[in-house]
Amino acid sequence: MRYLITLTRTAQPETPPPAELMSAIMRLGQEATEAGALVDQSGLRGLAAEVEVVGGKLTVSDGPFAEAKELISYAVYEVRDEAEAVEWANRFMKLHREMWPGWEGVSRVYPLMTF
Amino acid sequence: MGSVDPIRTVEAVWRIESAKVIATVARMTGDLGLAEESAQDAFVLALESWPAEGVPANPGGWLTTTAKRKAIDQLRRQGVYEEKLRELALRPPPGPEPELLTLIFTACHPEVAVEGRLALTLRLLGGLTTAEIARAFLVPEPTVGQRVYRAKTALRKVPIELPPAEELPARLASVLEVIYLIFNEGYAATSGESWTRTDLCFEALRLARVLAALMPASSEAAGLQALLEIQSSRLAARVGPGGEPVLLADQDRSRWDRLLIRRGLEALARAESTGVLGPYGLQAAIAAVHARALTFADTDWARMADLYRLLAHVAPSPIVELNRAVAVGMAEGPEAGLAILDGLPLTGNPHLAAVRGDLLERAGRAEEARAAFREAAGLTRNAREKALYERRANPGSS
């Protein structure tokens, strides 16, 4: 079964992301690849534009956006069940908690439709 | 909003980690059966303690340490621990290669009969139970139990290590074959009604991904991964609403899984960049020709015919020739395809008769075509195929 796992930041500390967090994330990605589970991923280069419909009116805005809650990255996992997808998200978030004090965020696990 | 069931978390961790745990203990003790039992014991302990105490920071490490301790306890109880320690001291220390790879090569060892390799691989690497394997292969559970037992017995005299360089090509071929057979077992009979069959395809695809990630320099490991990614991309499209098979020419290509196709093409590019394509890489290249065509009519048949010629060279077989006849028939005309069929040692093969029927029909030899389809219908044991051939033997009568 296929799952989309997103990462959204909700609170950003003053400190830059520690190098050890980056290498730990790389290691976890390698582990998930060697487990045959991680099948696609990408970081987002920020928000480029919003195209919105409100009250029958279409608005296009192209920023800059001062979003506190920012979508940072996504990953696609192919695993045997939901609990496994949640476990990978759990490991990913644990790294953030342990290695970047003050950082807050949420990982969301969405089952994807496949036909 | 509820919290996640802790038992399910333990099971998920177990499925992710079990093969590595078994692999590590097997390398430590040189005993596959003991390793599997000890890992099971560690899993049971985790089920008892994690829900109350929480999942440890490093769950895989916890399972491995616990399983090692269980294995040592067991050896002590049997009074063979000291002897085992001496024996281990004489052996060269484990190299830096990943334990998981060692386990894959051991489960697929040529000392074990092929059915045993399949069962052991699904059990040790896939974490499937004997009952699940039996359901997937449509055989009684005790049969699978026996296969696993015999496999483990045969492996007692085999050191648990990566094959030496001179044996690597042949040993890798066995690993690739096992994964491919698991996939085909699911693919061949997939009828949409049996979930375990699709699960087999998924498990084989997963194993191919694991192997390719652990052997990044192997062209054929990447080739097999590419082949299975692309084949899997069509799983949904090759079964109709009533469970009937849908041939490649008639599949709704919008239902092909684009993510798997992209991954397949990437893996194929890796296979091409790490060496000359072998049998699996070539089959992947052939599958990629279909994947790249937006419609059946867009298929690059000349390239397909070339690839089949290469495949017939590195892995000659009558079935490859049969497929080559189809490609050549499309690329150069039906008579050229028919010329390849002549003399193929496939008497009694329904697919040969059906391919001949198709080529004859396109050559305008309607009477001979109908006779060939009648022959195909009489030969096949698959009811749905039989219906398809009978329709083509009596065009216009449906």
Average pLDDT of the residues of chain B: 90
Domains of chain A with CATH codes: 2-111 (3.30.70.1060)
Which chain A residue has the Cα nearest residue B233?
A: A115
All residues of chain A having their beta carbon less than 8 Å from the beta carbon of residue B236 are 114-115
Q: Which residues contact A68 (CB under 8 A, 6 or more apart)?
A: A10, A11, A12
Q: Which stretches in chain A have pLDDT values below 70?
A: 68, 115
Chain B interface disruption, residue of A34, A79, A81, most B CBs within 10 A? A34
Q: Do B214 and A36 touch (CB under 8 A)?
A: no
Distance of residue B188 Cα from the nearest chain A Cα, in angstroms: 19
All residues of chain B having their beta carbon less than 8 Å from the beta carbon of residue A81 are 8, 12
Which chain A residue has the Cα nearest residue B199?
A: A80
pLDDT of residue B212: 97
Which contiguous run of DSSP H or E holds residue B39? helix B32-53
Q: Is the peptide bond before B59 cis (omega within 30 degrees of 0)?
A: no
Q: Do A37 and B8 touch (CB under 8 A)?
A: no
pTM above 0.80, yes or no: yes
CB B107 within 8 A of CB B177: no
Across the interface, which of B209, B255, B259 has its CB nearest the CB of A36?
A: B209
**Chain B residues 139-198 with CB within 8 Å of chain A:** none
The CATH number assigned to the domain with range B1-94 reads 1.10.1740
Burial class of residue A68 in the structure, from the number of CB atoms within 10 Å of its CB (0-12 exposed, 13-18 middle, 19+ buried): exposed
**Chain B residues 38-97 with CB within 8 Å of chain A:** 57
- Please enumerate, as own/partner, the contacts of B235-243 that have beta carbons within 8 Å and a separation of 24 or more: B235/B187, B235/B190, B235/B198, B235/B201, B236/A114, B236/A115, B238/B190, B239/B190, B239/B191, B239/B192, B243/B191, B243/B192, B243/B193
What digits encode the pLDDT tens for the residues B246-263? 889 999 999 999 999 999
pLDDT in tens, chain B (398 residues): 677 788 999 999 999 999 999 999 998 888 999 999 999 999 999 999 999 988 888 899 999 999 999 999 998 888 777 777 777 666 665 555 688 999 999 999 999 999 999 999 999 999 888 998 988 888 899 999 999 999 999 998 898 989 999 999 999 999 999 999 999 988 876 444 444 578 899 999 999 999 999 999 999 999 999 999 999 999 989 888 877 778 899 999 999 999 999 999 999 999 999 989 999 999 999 999 999 999 999 999 999 999 999 999 999 999 999 999 999 999 999 999 999 999 888 888 999 999 999 999 999 999 999 999 999 999 988 777 888 899 999 987 64
Across the interface, which of B11, B214, B257 has its CB nearest the CB of A83?
A: B11
Q: Can you tell me whether residue A62 is helix, strand or coil?
A: coil
Handedness of CA B67, A24, A41, B176 (dihedral sign): negative
Q: Do A81 and B255 touch (CB under 8 A)?
A: no
Determine contact: B263 vs chain A, CB below 8 A: yes
pLDDT of residue B209: 98
Q: Do A78 and B214 touch (CB under 8 A)?
A: no
All residues of chain A having their beta carbon less than 8 Å from the beta carbon of residue B13 are 87
pLDDT of residue B115: 95
Q: Do B213 and A115 touch (CB under 8 A)?
A: no
Q: Do A83 and B57 touch (CB under 8 A)?
A: no
Handedness of CA B298, B303, B308, B314 (dihedral sign): negative
Pairs of CB atoms within 8 A across A/B: 54
In angstroms, the CA B92 to CA A42 distance is 42
Q: Do B210 and A87 touch (CB under 8 A)?
A: no
